[in-house]
Amino acid sequence: MNLDQETIAKLAEHVENAELNRQEIVKITDDYPDMDYEDAYAIQYAIRARKEARGTRIAGLKMGLTSRAKMKQMGVEQPVFGFITDYGAYAEGAEIETSRFIHPRIEAEVAVVTKATLRGPGCHIGSALAAIDFVIPAVEIIDSRYKDFRFDLRSVIADNTSAAGYVTGGRMARPESLDLPVLGVVLEKNGEIVELGAGAAVLGHPAASVAMLANMLAERGEEIPAGTFIMTGGITAAVAVEAGDNICVRYQDLGTLGFRFV
Ligand code: OOG
Ligand code: MG
């Protein structure tokens, strides 16, 4: 770690305020070029603690930058993790207030809920699959607090990996009933197909993303408790949305998730 506790706390407040006030900021590594990955996660965890102290419930975990499409779009090459909150949750059919965000984008993802503890190191796709209770379609709403969505890996980790909301719905299924790598996803905006892909876009298999999360958490002495909701990362590149947009995401075997921005 290169930053002291006081600076971590100050940056956590700065980045969280950008979220709460919907006001974009410049990426924090511009002013703190020495900030390292540990500092970045320390800032993210400080933001999480600030929210929990205010009564926010942590509703699950997310992986990000797990697909080529996303890595290419954002110019960063390594998966990251973050948390999702109770107040970011939307159900299928939701009317989502666009004014809650700075410059929202959506990503089609596959989410899972676990039924057993997952602990790294050495967690692999087999253990992850055995620990998945069910799979459920989920669309993430990301909203980088950084100007023009421009960031580096350390800055985006500190900004809780741009997490802003998520819509769940469609149909859940047991993992053994699905062929997750070839599970097709089609994202439509206002009736037009804008992105499409398959589960394999996510590290070859969405369960590999769950295993990687367990291994990343293990480095911090943490595990994934049973009953955790996990978003495995965008299959497709993220799509910018604005008020008036109607979104429909079709998942092979898992139904359709529709909602709109108002
Ligand atoms: C970072 C978050 C990436 C995903 O699913 O890849 C992410 C960003 O692109 O702003 O959530
Ligand atoms: Mg995502």
Q: Is residue 84 part of a domain?
A: yes
Q: Is residue 2 part of a domain?
A: no
CB 92 within 8 A of CB 170: yes
Q: What is the pLDDT of residues 121-148, one digit of tens each?
A: 999 999 999 999 999 999 999 999 999 9
CA of 77 to the centre of ligand 2 (A): 14
Q: Is the CB of 107 under 6 A from ligand 1?
A: yes
CA of 213 to the centre of ligand 1 (A): 14
Protein residue closest via CA to atom 4 of ligand 1: 64
Q: Is residue 22 part of a domain?
A: no
Q: pLDDT over 70 for what percent of the chain? A: 100
Residue 135: give its domain's CATH number.
3.90.850.10
> What is the spatial distance between Cα 16 and Cα 28, in angstroms, rounded to a whole number?
12
Q: Is residue 8 part of a domain?
A: no
Q: Is residue 246 part of a domain?
A: yes
Q: Is residue 129 part of a domain?
A: yes
pTM of the model: 0.97
Q: Is the CB of 65 under 6 A from ligand 1?
A: yes
Q: Is the CB of 120 under 6 A from ligand 1?
A: no
Q: Is residue 18 part of a domain?
A: no
Q: Using CB atoms within 10 A of its CB, is residue 251 exposed (0-12), middle (13-18) or buried (19+)?
A: buried
CB 140 within 8 A of CB 224: no
pLDDT at 27: 96
The total domain count for the chain is 1
CB 255 within 8 A of CB 170: yes
> What is the spatial distance between Cα 158 and Cα 141, in angstroms, rounded to a whole number?
17
Q: Which tokens hold the place of 241? A: 């949305």
Give the range of the structural domain holding residue 103, as residue numbers without chain letter.
59-261
Mean pLDDT score across all residues of the chain: 97
4 pLDDT more than 90:
yes
Q: Using CB atoms within 10 A of its CB, is residue 233 exposed (0-12), middle (13-18) or buried (19+)?
A: buried
Q: Is residue 92 part of a domain?
A: yes
